[in-house]
Structure 1
């Protein structure tokens, strides 16, 4: 009988831990979905006249093209932008750059595309 009680106690404790873990995960998901931006991503507005919202993976920020985009953003809007980051680039070009980055295409092709848009 004592063994049965011990087993049931362990099962109850593990299910409580499982429930607590699941509720913490649910809270994190709720926090992310409230802003509409998944973890590891950031929202940016892209465009010249009319802006379009994109959610971009943070890993792309290390790419040289993004460094140039951020530099142009600072030149256009200043370093003290408030709110969401704005990038002065044609939406079509930005979509193509993201597509190439996601596919892992050669950096030269992305830089060429980027250069053609701003020359």
Structure 2
């Protein structure tokens, strides 16, 4: 489910004018989409938009970053390879991040992921 949402988010980022507002028949545009993502990030982390900490949030289950990614989602997106294919809900009680990052888009480590403002 989360992976499907991420795919939709990536699609919308690349095509921000795909949807038309019904009342004025104008594209939503990037500003509206960015506002939606900022609200989503605030809901996921509980931290206000533009906080210095919003991208470094890790909850008790190891959900990580502004959008609270899990090992499985980053695996599906090609950023992460879980150690022994064990991750949250597949033999692990939480996201331990014992695997390795693939280097995709310059993300070579867990710290790289946390430091990236687009996580």
TM-score (norm 2): 0.28
Higher normalized strand content (fraction of residues):
1
Q: Which has the larger radius of gyration?
A: 1
- Larger relative contact order, structure 1 or 2 (CA cutoff 8 Å, min sep 6): 1
Higher normalized helix content (fraction of residues):
1
